[in-house]
A and B are shown apart, each in its own frame.
Chain A
Amino acid sequence: MSGEFQGYLAVGAALFILGALGFLTRRNLIVMMLSAELMLHGVSLTFVTFGRMHNTLEGQVFTIFILTIAACEAGLALALILALYQKVRTLDIEDWTELREPDLPSPKSNTERVDPLPPEDIQHFPRLTPAGGAPEMNDSGTEPASNGRLSVEKVQATVM
């Protein structure tokens, strides 16, 4: 086989292992998902090259399916990441280590559990002063009823 395909296959392998390396080492959930997409790129390139080696279009067809699944995966994973972020307010993967054998030590690196670094380079933008008073809100966050009739209707709607 000529070296023509070998170059493409090697680039595909390089993209795959770089994605794997990023997935294994990085601790940010978003960067981990990006690395998984990088692995998919490497596999797509390999599929297209194999298709050209065998003189068929099947590699390209497979890559189109990979594209579909990558889109699904990105949407679902980002929704999950947002849901996780809402719970712990951090994107650190090491905060999600509950699923392990009970007698194993925590995989959290002990030396790393220090105070967060002082935030660098935060730009403080000027804020506008609020115009007019804020609307009154009660504790549940809804507007207070202006008259009794409306609140009775609301209560009836809630009961029904």
Chain B
Amino acid sequence: MNWLQQNGWQTAALVLMATGICALMPRAGSRSRTLGLLLALVGTGLALWTLPGPTGLLANTVLFWMFSAAAIVCAILMITSRNPVYAALWFALVTLATSGLFLLQQAAFLAAATIIVYAGAIIVTFLFVIMLAQQAGATVYDQRSNQPLLASIGAFVLFAALLTTLRSESWAKEPPAAVVAQLTVSNRLSSGTADGKMQSLGRSLFGDYLYAVELAGTVLLVASIGAIAIAPRRSQGTI
């Protein structure tokens, strides 16, 4: 009974979300999406309501709820949309909402980089591939999904486990002061002003992580060469 009082609303929210997503998944027979959408929306709202939000400034709190709700709802619509073009566009909205959450967490450069790389490059590449490879009209594999019930149950059991872990206070204790005193961290987040955060991020990237940055650049080069080598090309002379 005690457990039910503590976790009842959250469990109900997760069950509602799972049911809604399961009903929204494409399957045989055309049925209305309204009921599934309603269930998923109510479940998302309930799940967000059970979360403790950020404290402090009112604008911060309001923006957090807005961006979180937008991210989760757009993600649900993305994975259940029957048209891959719409899925890509919903994914762009998820990217924008995630960038907003980055901005709220003092990661301005990361928000800008995410928008540029994802919304500017990756989504466009996806849309190009959809244009090259999508058949006209509705296809059978977009109208069916693979074991939606089992996958929803599994995924939401995982989600419930993660949320329970987050609620327990055991992992979130402050480390002992003796341990903290021995740590030498060169890239403190709180060092510097708002402008200085970007500066210290660059200093950390090209100071502490210089070799990793070089390796990442090499990986990018290798991947682009590989993509050119793998991509199919037309036989010569055909149009």
Q: Which residue of A is nearest B137, CB measured? A: A119
Given contacts A14-B75, A51-B189, contact A45 B144 (CB under 8 A): no
Distance in Å: Cβ of A46 to nearest Cβ of chain B: 10
B30 vs chain A, min Cβ distance (A): 10
Of all chain B residues, the one with the shortest Cβ separation from A92 is: B141
Flag if A22 contacts B172 (CB, 8 Å): no
B72 touches A11 (CB 8 A): yes
In the complex, the answer to whether B126 meets A33 with C-beta atoms within 8 Å is yes
- A15-B98 contact, Cβ under 8 Å, with A34-B88, A119-B137: yes
> Out of B87, B121, B140, which one reaches A117, CB within 8 Å?
B140
A141 engages B145 (CB within 8 Å): no
Most buried by B among A11, A26, A80, A91: A26
Contact: B141 with A90, CB < 8 Å? yes
The residue that B223 contacts in the complex, of A9, A31, A72, A90, with Cβ under 8 A, is A72
Q: Does B35 contact A (CB under 8 A)?
A: no
Indicate if the CB atoms of A28 and B79 lie closer than 8 Å. Answer: no
Cβ contacts under 8 Å, A30 to chain B: 84, 87-88, 126, 129-130, 133-134
B105 touches A8 (CB 8 A): yes
- Contact: A15 with B71, CB < 8 Å? yes
Q: Please, which residues of chain B bring their CB within 8 A of the CB of A57?
A: 187-189, 197, 200-201, 204
Given known A-B contacts A10-B51, A82-B231, A20 and B84 have beta carbons under 8 A apart: no
Interface size bracket, B side: 35 or more
Q: Are A67 and B113 touching (Cβ within 8 A)?
A: yes
* Residues in B neighbouring A73, C-beta threshold 8 A: 223
Given contacts A75-B223, A112-B144, contact A11 B91 (CB under 8 A): no
Chain A residues in 8 Å Cβ range of B226: 76, 79
Q: A74 with B51: in contact, given A17-B159, A41-B95, A117-B139 (CB under 8 Å)? A: no
Chain B contacts for A120, CB-based, 8 A:
137-138
Counting chain B CB atoms within 10 Å of each CB, the highest count among A11, A80, A112 belongs to A11
CB neighbours (8 Å) of B109 from chain A are 60
A contact face: mostly helix, strand, loop, or mixed: helix
B53 touches A7 (CB 8 A): yes
Assess whether A9 is in contact with B166, with CB atoms less than 8 Å apart: yes
Q: Using A21-B21, A142-B237 as known contacts, say yes or no to A82 and B166 having CB atoms under 8 A apart.
A: no
List which B96-150 residues lie within 8 A (CB) of chain A: 98, 101-102, 105-107, 109-110, 113-114, 117-118, 121-122, 125-126, 129-130, 132-148
Determine whether B59 belongs to the interface, using a CB cutoff of 8 Å to chain A.
no
If A4-B54, A26-B146, A122-B136 touch, whether A34 touches B126 (CB-CB below 8 Å) is: yes
Find residues 180-239 in chain B having any chain A CB closer than 8 Å to their own CB: 185, 187-190, 197, 200-201, 204-205, 208-209, 212, 216, 219-220, 223-224, 226-228, 230-232, 235-238
Q: Which 10 A-B pairs have the closest CB atoms?
A: A119-B137, A3-B52, A22-B79, A1-B172, A141-B237, A72-B223, A92-B141, A57-B187, A4-B54, A24-B151
> Which residues of chain A have a CB within 8 Å of any CB of chain B?
1-4, 6-11, 13-15, 17-22, 24-28, 30-31, 33-35, 37-38, 41, 44-45, 48-49, 51-52, 55-58, 60-61, 63-65, 67-76, 78-83, 85-86, 89-94, 109, 112, 114, 116-122, 140-142
Q: List 8 A-B contacts (CB under 8 A).
A: A3-B51, A3-B52, A11-B72, A13-B162, A30-B87, A38-B78, A45-B101, A112-B140
